[in-house]
A and B are shown apart, each in its own frame.
Chain A
Amino acid sequence: MYLKLFWSFIQIGLFSFGGGYAAMPLIQNQVVDLNGWLTMSEFADVITISQMTPGPIGINAATFVGIRIGGIQGAIVATIGCVLPSCVIVLSLAYIYYKYKGLDTVQGILNGLRPAVIAMIGSAGLALMILAFWNGKAVTITGDGIDYVAVSIFIIAFVILRKWKVNPIHIMVVAGLIGLCSYPFIL
């Protein structure tokens, strides 16, 4: 069974392009549909918990599925399976990158990639901001259902980050504390 678990997560690691959320349908396919290790509602819990706990979502999901199926050993097996393919591929690419990055063509390609990377991080950041402001509900122009606590936290955090070089992790901890102190009164 551990071998099957390992093989399933090798496939997940190999074919999930685009990070954690993109891996979810693949994990569901392997874990729920093909092998029947978890039911769909158990899998929904896996997604929720993966998002609620720190760490990369894909790794959280692998770890948690592994624990549910085979305890700590299962978690270790699933995590290694999930990381192994990217480890091999990324290290080969890194080797190529450091060997050939002086070449003009490679420089050209990288010059094209840099602005695209900024745009993609920006797109993800904006999506997260919208999720925080409207709490996953439909976006309205009039501002109905907007979460003013989230908006205030965002603005204060943003201003502090722009003005002073503070550790972003401190910002997140304080933001969490503000959430804990204010949401009980308004929700």
Chain B
Amino acid sequence: MKKDIKFYFKLFAATFYLSAFTFGGGFVMIPLMRKKFVDQYKWIDEKEMLDLTAIAQASPGAIAVNAAILVGYRLAGFLGAMITILGTVLPPLLILSVISTAYTAFRDSLIVRYVLRGMQAGVAAVIIDVVVTMGIDLIKERKVVPIMVMLSSFIAAFFVHINVIFVILASGMIGGMAMYYSKHIKKSGEGK
């Protein structure tokens, strides 16, 4: 990939655009980032994007910003990270400095409310579409441990409302142990 001015501009424009059009925070932005950087630009592969998402969620701060930093760093190092941070932070700054001059009018505006209610349903469809795609890919691999981890994490997050940090820690440990056991069993099998 050529890293000229055009590339940096494209990176900035992509994060700016995503930040300016995503309502609702990290979980909305990550599926959109995946669509942009994995499906459309093909700059990052699917698995790596999931790894970066996990790191973004496990770190403190806004998940969308964390993910933007990681994507920027992955594509163009420290400079890339600075560009994506700027791209993510600038839209709220511009939009809110306009809105803050008349924020009560904005808050009480019926037009804004109607548009946002319609968008909410659209955003939910976008997120669930991405999740269905990723879930089907995972199930197609036909491995028991990942499918179990996915189901139990879903129950923990959706029904029990466990802090996501614990879900991340537990699933990471399960993954580490599963890898250890598969290595260990393979080795003792070879010894015989």
Listed in ascending order, the chain A residues whose CB lies under 8 Å from chain B are 13-21, 23, 45, 48-49, 51-60, 63-64, 67-68, 72, 75-76, 79, 82-83, 85-87, 89-91, 93-94, 97-98, 101, 104-105, 107-129, 131-133, 135, 147, 149-151, 153-155, 157-158, 161-162, 165, 167-169, 171-180, 182-184, 187
Residues from 129 to 148 in B contacting A, C-beta threshold 8 Å:
129-132, 134-135, 138, 145-147
Chain A interface, >50% SS class: helix
What are 16 A-B pairs at a CB distance below 8 A? A17-B164, A19-B64, A53-B92, A54-B95, A57-B62, A58-B65, A59-B64, A83-B89, A94-B69, A97-B51, A108-B176, A128-B127, A129-B128, A132-B121, A158-B125, A187-B114
Give Cα distance in the complex from A117 to B111, angstroms: 35
Q: Which residues of A contact B51 (CB under 8 A)?
A: 97, 101, 110, 113-114
Let me know if B47 is at the binding interface, CB within 8 A: yes
Interface string of B71-90 (1 = CB under 8 A from A): 00110001001000100110
Q: Which residues of B contact A59 (CB under 8 A)?
A: 62, 64-65, 88-89, 92
Q: Which residue of B lies closest to A184 (CB)?
A: B114
Q: Which residues of A contact B126 (CB under 8 A)?
A: 157, 161, 168, 171-172
Chain B interface, >50% SS class: helix
Whether A116 contacts B54 by the Cβ 8 Å rule is: yes
| Given known A-B contacts A79-B93, A116-B168, A128 and B123 have beta carbons under 8 A apart | yes
Give Cα distance in the complex from A55 to B29, angstroms: 8
Give Cα distance in the complex from A162 to B132, angstroms: 9
Q: Which residues of A contact B178 (CB under 8 A)?
A: 108, 111-112
Q: Which residues of A contact B58 (CB under 8 A)?
A: 17, 93
Q: What 15 new A-B contacts, CB under 8 Å, besides A86-B69, A126-B128?
A: A16-B62, A18-B165, A19-B64, A53-B96, A55-B92, A87-B85, A112-B176, A114-B47, A116-B170, A121-B131, A125-B31, A150-B118, A158-B129, A179-B114, A183-B118
